[in-house]
Amino acid sequence: MNKMPTNEDREINLRQKRFVSEYIIDFNGTKAAERSGYSKKTAAEQAARLLTYVKIQAAITEALRDRELRTQITADNVLIGLYKIAVADLSEAYNADGSLKNIHDIPKEVRQAMAGIEVFEEFVGRGEDRIKIGETKKVKFWDKTRPYELLAKHLKLLTDKIEIRDINSFDDLSDTEKENMLRNWEEKNRGKIEGGE
């Protein structure tokens, strides 16, 4: 007796392959389903269903591995880059007199922590008679708190905590909680109370 082939027995079709390619762009299943040609109306359900298929999960894993090999961008490289920005010693960009070093004399790790350099030259006179009297270099570095935050989240040093309390009755609430609850109820039902509905 031949059994009917299941989705797990079948090879993935072209639309499903497109879904895999679209999914690894932003890991948004609904958007990937829409971009793959699934109905906007059912895209969320289609994505949820597709992501349960073992062969599609394997295709996503393979696509991510291929992208990593192709681009040489790995999780380790990203973490190392964040770490370098976070710990870059900005003083290494300057000479002892406080002037900015030549860009090629600044260590690579410090250059990677720079978001940009703006140079403002000051002149007196006009046309060919003008003379340079000064120069201001404005260096902007990447925000150092963001890499620390991302690294801390990766290391699970920062986690969002949700407090769940078991409240059995209105009496279990504090006075402030009762007042807030009453105020929210009144705001929500103001039109109904005033309009006599």
Which three-class secondary structure state does DSSP give residue 147? helix
Which three-class secondary structure state does DSSP give residue 51? coil
Residue 135 confidence (pLDDT) above 60: yes
Query: Can you tell me the distance from the alpha carbon of 146 to that of 151, in angstroms, rounded to the nearest whole number?
Result: 9
Give the confidence band of 23 by pLDDT, cuts at 50, 70, 90.
very high
Residue type, 123: F
Confirm if 166 and 137 have CB atoms less than 8 A apart: no
Task: Write down the pTM of the prediction.
Answer: 0.49
List pLDDT tens digits, range 69-91. Answer: 888 888 888 888 889 888 999 89
Query: Can you tell me the distance from the alpha carbon of 99 to that of 132, in angstroms, rounded to the nearest whole number?
Result: 17
CATH no. of 14-72? 1.10.10.1400
